[in-house]
Structure 1
């Protein structure tokens, strides 16, 4: 339970419990006991050594998540097998005993399982994991699901022809990974992984080997390492445990291990006394980063006892507190970095952990960022943390665990199974949330500052130290030197630092409760399960109480208008300032003050101003609903104005944006945006440091106040586990009390329309042999809901055909997709886009092949078979969406925003079933025959 696996626990939520003055000696628990295993999960081992995990989980209904986990990755490759662990993953989708080439994907699509989005796999240094969600409402589908993962385990065909055809696809994936980051990584990895095999075994392999490896090399890898004693099968979902266990036994118990099996070695990172420094730059690098690793001297030891688990809690508290300090630094008036963080956890090697500090910064401030990281670590070493910091960190961790505990049984199977993978591969404890929550309640009060402060002396050391600086290579930016880095370490080690200054934190967001308004009307919609309140100031509140999650309330709000009501001059002056308005905080509380005040509270409110509306997005745990309402009230009425906070935001944005356009991909986006939208009088283009400097904070703040001056025309939406009485009380107190002008504004529809029809734009940028193609059909359209659904469906059908043609037949792309939609607001507009990356030599061939598939849809319409595949997927996804708070929040808000009837959601299945190939062909003829915008990104021609 290391910090890297606890990141999700660090969002705050308040929980009152016994004070934290208790000491370690006061705990009566025998910490030498073993950590228990979750009794709700069935774990077993077959005679052949295969491990399995099974859990019945009813969310989502009628679905099972299957995983085949192989404890073998690229680190086990022989020299002639570089890249073949990953290539083997590809081959398992290209012909097995029971599913010949392309039959597997074809079958799964027919039952609603989408390739890439649902069906997937990944290969890393040490493992390969196959991901298969399968419908479980039909015994035949469930049986075939297990047959598929059995075939992956030992029935791959690996025929010569199939291997050769897949080379092109894998080489395209290899090509996608090329670029500045890859070039710099090749230089610094040998230092991070000093003396180990890992530096030479990146999972993608080498281009030369992928092009030329012998067929027997991949067969040998499969035969050596795909074996039961290195495998685990996991089945989590809406099926009885006994049924799933029998399926596993039927399909895997008979598989035998090879007679002369190779030893599965563990590869270590050797220790080194010297500090290794890598300073790398590239003219196409977009960001400047600083990283320091203090690798542990010993290897990772399994967490087995309660004391081990408790020690991991101490490490988590340390990480929480150091990262809180880094957040304060990034929000300071002169931030040393865009963001920074530290943790003690895993490295590239499974056997070695390290204390790691990381920062992203301005290209000219790498030494400044490194200094900030080292100084804050040294400050902890000299002075430790404060008791107040510890109290806040304990609240945050325990509160997030409380949320997990309350949501027990409400988590999707796909989220549950990840813990099983880590348990199998890394021996990560999995005692279950009941035990974890109880153990934290018991043990957190016993953890004291002395324990936490003592960690830093073990983390920070002179040996096993690696420093990596990466960033852009450009005029005016002087690269740091190794001598400067070494001198900085010496300086910090000998520097006396001031202790961290703790500031007093207010106890509540609002010193005085606003004068309460009232609810003037209450309406219910039984079909939707919603209640709508009209408030005394004219605002409306719609809420839907659900049981999808026990500890979640989601929130949105909108009012028409947005920046469409700004003059052109005001819009251009403020567009890059709006994102920084909330950096100043509210009600005289800075962003840092707010963060401290919200320790132990799960609540978030974010105001926004978009083109045609302004509003809020947020969420809260049910017990923190009042704070959500309070923050919303304050963002209406008491947004702070702070030049220094805004300047801090600008500096961070400039550091982020500074070299973004050196990336060929970002540059292509900028050029294409200017080509399609550049004639608009309101076009502001790609953000740049110069545009950030020119942003008018004063005017942006003034316009914000104007946009949020009238709460009477706002619509508020809440979905989740709502206490209705409390929500009504908070709505009357914090929303009905907001100012109202009865303005009932709308947005202004611009005269400008983007380019449509036939155009071509070719952009040449970059040194790598990488191209990308975008084909866009777009133009004005009278919005029609049936047409909108049909065009979306055509995009999904075309994606299937493009994968078959461009990937499987041509071997020319790794990924390709098409998307169609028709929008209603602010004006009717259709858009249908095809996009894919490829090699420059294949641009014309693949572009023409894609256009032919579109022309085929126009001339013949889609096949019934392809339509049924898409329908199955749509119906399955819709069925799951109906049990998600996020879906209902979007539905209710969007229906009002678009002036539509939300109850039409119940017609979805009927509309899907009614859609036919003839209507789809009609829509294809209507929207895909008036020309297209062809945009191509090619590398620069070599001089």
Structure 2
């Protein structure tokens, strides 16, 4: 399936004028050999020097523009002595340009609210390098400087010896961060998959020795050869005037001179092969066992309406097969933890049809046999008409949602499409055209067409099987020959046709007896409403216009599994998950999925430590279905032993080798240290812990937790009318069982340690370490203190980026954050974490503590304050236009018993933040007599 279709199914929504839509409708009714039209709302041009530009006005989010510099060059263009330098140049773009010396670029952008890493970023792949810069668009000076940044990246990166040598350490740390079992196995099987191709030799991260030792001229040569206007695109999508932006781009980027006698930008082929390639690779630190089955295919471009129709057929095939694989994973004895299939672009010159499964450590043969069998089942018997009609409904529903949101899509979604259009010529017709075209072509696609794809894709040639798993005593993965034998025998098995079991029943034959709204409380400050129903259920409603086709729901009740004994801990912990997979009433999850074809709706119950509840979402047209599901999760949870066995088996497979991986082991150990090894304090469960889950007891606990709705609070945020919604709330929530019991959660006594804990955790063979430093202590939540605590973490992160990344070149990334919890006891936590080389741990830890002491003694600068203020202002402004943010905020205010009338005090707190606040907080919360330092070190 082409990426643009997958993208659209997820979130693409393109604004289009009515006149543009009418023009496109004419083309829809024309010849299928016609070219796919281009969305008229994006302006594309090319300068005389060859540089391409894309411009689009889009007002979500307001007063912001997404800028991109796209370079159609990646690691495939490197000479042998340049392996890793495409990525290295990307790093160097942030370390000194003509107009931004050394670290001035990062400092400047942080001062206008652009966060390094979160906003300001870049990536390098095999065939492209993309620089990302989202900035405010309501300040002409900032906008001009943003374009200046892009211009500097395009042809004014300075590449000074001093900065090159400093950046080598940062890139090595990124290289180091990627090392481990998965990378070691990848290094072995990737050359098998791409045998005979340049791709096998040009991983973007490159070779460590070249990164460390490449001379300055070799580095500069890559930049000079490949950073040139004919291989570049500049993109500006956001709240801008397209005419003014086009003028600015032409004026600024036309002065980049074309390169005389440019090197040829080649596309490299992946050769075909008659024989099947097999790679079986193991590693002692591999946490998972995986099977990958590839069928390479010729690259197919998408240019005409017929090509588009073909891609929709591909989408139908893969969607239906993935649905079957998902049903298999939900069986009582699942063949894999997860399984999927796809047809997509492999690299620029090759497509592939691929099947994937994550299995248990002894499940490779069965997992591979299952993938082969399901592919063969389709090849022999095809899909059913019912499957096809349901998946057509699903596709149409997703496109309709995208169409409905066409005026409220975010700029970064558009710019992602335009990047792909520039690099791979992916069509950008716009959602209005696509939705209209899809409605016309879906009815014409036949079952025979879809079924004909299996013999086209599944062949004995160009086939590759990759198996990866643990090198573990007692675990023997199949040999290459055994894999080949399985392949040879797969066509000889008796395989029955798929049985499509469908229920024609409905969730409710008649509506339940309604309760009623007995109290209404306006929440004027946040423009929301609180309803109290006759059974005690509270409902908080905030109607928004942020999205046309989105309603989000969350609900909680105090209690959780804290109310049950240690003996019941695992049964209670898994109870919500078991019921969520079991379904409701007489409907399994598989039945529900089929019933909901063409709908946007979902709900899932959970039981946490201190609360139980539900999460859900729906399109406005499916809101009643969401409420029906919620009602049934209370009143008619389905008791399904098969679902329990499925969850238990898959989790056992998942946790079998998790602790062999140093990172998972380290994370587990830090959790246990921070809770003083409390049996219910966290960490990953062991395989044997799954045997402690008692199905009958889990179901009993679930029913107990959801037997009384009187202390539940529901939150709905999205596009709805409260008056129209009230009858549904009274019917489906007002009728929930209510015993009016008085209960709350229980304090289990989980506490972080006191004093100084300094722990070294030895695990793994790679020369890589991880450092975590946690400061904790008692805390009295206060709105200002909460804000200053978070700001302290953000300021410290910025300063540590400058210090241990940019100045010392010791890390690739570093994080610092301040947070608090109110329940079960009031505590604060400041967490600092970074990966680094083992040889640098002591030096960098000392630098961190020295910086903490510096902040405690000398405070921070006004520039430090301004950086976080600007980032917070921008983040808050955008967040207030997001349904998810409001849902989480309302829930948090209610859960913590906070006063909603103070909701907008946050803006005032931002304005009043000062250096004295941060200094006082640093001295208050950085208690050098009470912290945990945990360091991962390689095994000796």
Bin the TM-score by the shorter chain. over 0.9
* 2:649 match: 651
Deviation (angstroms), 1:527:
2.5
Please give the alpha-carbon distance, in whole angstroms, between the structure 2 residues aligned to 1:657 and 1:576.
Answer: 15
Please give the alpha-carbon distance, in whole angstroms, between the structure 2 residues aligned to 1:470 and 1:352.
Answer: 23
Map 1:10-89 → 2, pairs under 5 A: 29-89=30-90
Please give the alpha-carbon distance, in whole angstroms, between the structure 1 residues aligned to 2:147 and 2:904.
Answer: 33
* 2:572/2:607 contact within 8 Å kept: no
Map 1:751-830 → 2, pairs under 5 A: 751-830=749-828
* 1:936 match: 935
* 1:576/1:692 contact within 8 Å kept: no
Deviation (angstroms), 1:572:
4.8
SS at match of 1:234: strand
- Structure 1 position 318 matched with structure 2 position 314: no
Please give the alpha-carbon distance, in whole angstroms, between the structure 2 residues aligned to 1:187 and 1:751.
Answer: 48
SS at match of 2:529: strand
* 2:21 match: none
* 2:513 match: 515
Map 1:284-683 → 2, pairs under 5 A: 284-296=285-297, 298=298, 300-347=299-346, 349-680=347-678, 682-683=680-681
SS at match of 1:513: coil
Please give the alpha-carbon distance, in whole angstroms, between the structure 2 residues aligned to 1:199 and 1:4.
Answer: 26
Question: For residues 682 and 272 of structure 1, do their structure 2 counterparts lie closer, same or farther at Cα, with a shift above 3 Å needed?
Answer: closer
SS at match of 1:923: helix
* 2:203 match: 202
- Structure 1 position 174 matched with structure 2 position 154: no
Question: What does the per-residue CA deviation read over 1:97-136, in whole Å, with 9 as the maximum and x for residues that have no partner?
Answer: 0000000000000000000000000000000000000111
Please give the alpha-carbon distance, in whole angstroms, between the structure 2 residues aligned to 1:7 and 1:459.
Answer: 22
Q: Which of residues 845, 848, 852 is equivalent to 1:847?
A: 845
SS at match of 2:828: strand
* 1:24 match: none
Deviation (angstroms), 1:685:
4.2
* 2:698 match: 700
SS at match of 2:903: helix
* 2:715 match: 717
Question: What does the per-residue CA deviation read over 1:745-796, in whole Å, with 9 as the maximum and x for residues that have no partner?
Answer: 2222344422133111110000000011111110221222211111111111
* 1:190 match: 191
Please give the alpha-carbon distance, in whole angstroms, between the structure 2 residues aligned to 1:642 and 1:747.
Answer: 28
Question: What does the per-residue CA deviation read over 1:306-358, in whole Å, with 9 as the maximum and x for residues that have no partner?
Answer: 000000000000011111110111111211111111111111x2110011111
Deviation (angstroms), 1:576:
4.5
* 2:672/2:682 contact within 8 Å kept: no
What is the aligned residue count? Answer: 923
Deviation (angstroms), 1:5:
4.6
SS at match of 1:131: strand
Q: Single out whichever of 483-492 and 669-678 deviates more from structure 2.
A: 669-678
Map 1:227-238 → 2, pairs under 5 A: 227-238=228-239
Please give the alpha-carbon distance, in whole angstroms, between the structure 1 residues aligned to 2:931 and 2:134.
Answer: 37
Please give the alpha-carbon distance, in whole angstroms, between the structure 2 residues aligned to 1:818 and 1:274.
Answer: 52
SS at match of 1:551: coil
* 1:247 match: 248
Deviation (angstroms), 1:28:
5.9
Deviation (angstroms), 1:450:
0.7
Please give the alpha-carbon distance, in whole angstroms, between the structure 2 residues aligned to 1:721 and 1:132.
Answer: 31
Question: What does the per-residue CA deviation read over 1:66-114, in whole Å, with 9 as the maximum and x for residues that have no partner?
Answer: 0000000000000010000000000000000000000000000000000
Please give the alpha-carbon distance, in whole angstroms, between the structure 2 residues aligned to 1:570 and 1:325.
Answer: 34
Please give the alpha-carbon distance, in whole angstroms, between the structure 2 residues aligned to 1:489 and 1:570.
Answer: 45
Deviation (angstroms), 1:684:
6.0
* 1:789/1:821 contact within 8 Å kept: no
Please give the alpha-carbon distance, in whole angstroms, between the structure 2 residues aligned to 1:471 and 1:576.
Answer: 27
The gaps in structure 1 that reach 5 residues or longer are 12-26
- Structure 1 position 900 matched with structure 2 position 912: no
Please give the alpha-carbon distance, in whole angstroms, between the structure 1 residues aligned to 2:353 and 2:235.
Answer: 32
Deviation (angstroms), 1:674:
2.1
Deviation (angstroms), 1:195:
0.5
Please give the alpha-carbon distance, in whole angstroms, between the structure 2 residues aligned to 1:209 and 1:794.
Answer: 39
Please give the alpha-carbon distance, in whole angstroms, between the structure 2 residues aligned to 1:818 and 1:917.
Answer: 18
Deviation (angstroms), 1:672:
2.1
Deviation (angstroms), 1:471:
0.8
Please give the alpha-carbon distance, in whole angstroms, between the structure 2 residues aligned to 1:825 and 1:428.
Answer: 50
If the length of structure 1 is used for normalisation, what is the TM-score?
0.96
* 1:574/1:697 contact within 8 Å kept: no
SS at match of 2:846: helix
* 2:819/2:830 contact within 8 Å kept: yes
* 2:502/2:594 contact within 8 Å kept: no
* 1:271 match: 272
CA-based RMSD of the aligned residues comes to: 1.4
SS at match of 1:575: helix
* 2:60/2:411 contact within 8 Å kept: yes
Please give the alpha-carbon distance, in whole angstroms, between the structure 2 residues aligned to 1:684 and 1:915.
Answer: 35
SS at match of 2:603: strand
Question: What does the per-residue CA deviation read over 1:15-71, in whole Å, with 9 as the maximum and x for residues that have no partner?
Answer: xxxxxxxxxxxx964201110000111111111111111110101111000000000
Question: What does the per-residue CA deviation read over 1:261-306, in whole Å, with 9 as the maximum and x for residues that have no partner?
Answer: 001001010111110000001010011111111101x3x2321110
Please give the alpha-carbon distance, in whole angstroms, between the structure 2 residues aligned to 1:917 and 1:744.
Answer: 46
* 2:401/2:549 contact within 8 Å kept: yes
Please give the alpha-carbon distance, in whole angstroms, between the structure 2 residues aligned to 1:547 and 1:573.
Answer: 41
Question: What does the per-residue CA deviation read over 1:226-283, in whole Å, with 9 as the maximum and x for residues that have no partner?
Answer: 1111001110000111111112111111212211100100101011111000000101
Please give the alpha-carbon distance, in whole angstroms, between the structure 1 residues aligned to 2:613 and 2:61.
Answer: 31
* 1:889 match: 887
Please give the alpha-carbon distance, in whole angstroms, between the structure 1 residues aligned to 2:145 and 2:872.
Answer: 21
Please give the alpha-carbon distance, in whole angstroms, between the structure 2 residues aligned to 1:155 and 1:282.
Answer: 44
Deviation (angstroms), 1:723:
2.8
Please give the alpha-carbon distance, in whole angstroms, between the structure 2 residues aligned to 1:148 and 1:329.
Answer: 51
Question: For residues 845 and 10 of structure 1, do their structure 2 counterparts lie closer, same or farther at Cα, with a shift above 3 Å needed?
Answer: closer
Please give the alpha-carbon distance, in whole angstroms, between the structure 1 residues aligned to 2:697 and 2:880.
Answer: 43
Deviation (angstroms), 1:578:
4.4
* 2:25 match: none
Question: For residues 8 and 239 of structure 1, do their structure 2 counterparts lie closer, same or farther at Cα, with a shift above 3 Å needed?
Answer: closer
Please give the alpha-carbon distance, in whole angstroms, between the structure 2 residues aligned to 1:917 and 1:715.
Answer: 39
Please give the alpha-carbon distance, in whole angstroms, between the structure 1 residues aligned to 2:229 and 2:781.
Answer: 56
Please give the alpha-carbon distance, in whole angstroms, between the structure 2 residues aligned to 1:92 and 1:110.
Answer: 19
Q: Single out whichever of 678-687 and 847-856 deviates more from structure 2.
A: 678-687
If the length of structure 2 is used for normalisation, what is the TM-score?
0.97
Question: What does the per-residue CA deviation read over 1:467-515, in whole Å, with 9 as the maximum and x for residues that have no partner?
Answer: 0001111112111012211111121112231000111223522233211
SS at match of 2:442: helix
* 2:112/2:870 contact within 8 Å kept: yes
Question: What does the per-residue CA deviation read over 1:708-735, in whole Å, with 9 as the maximum and x for residues that have no partner?
Answer: 1111111111111013233211101100
Question: For residues 42 and 10 of structure 1, do their structure 2 counterparts lie closer, same or farther at Cα, with a shift above 3 Å needed?
Answer: closer
* 1:622/1:723 contact within 8 Å kept: no
Deviation (angstroms), 1:395:
0.5
SS at match of 2:904: helix
Q: Single out whichever of 625-634 and 29-38 deviates more from structure 2.
A: 29-38
Deviation (angstroms), 1:570:
2.3
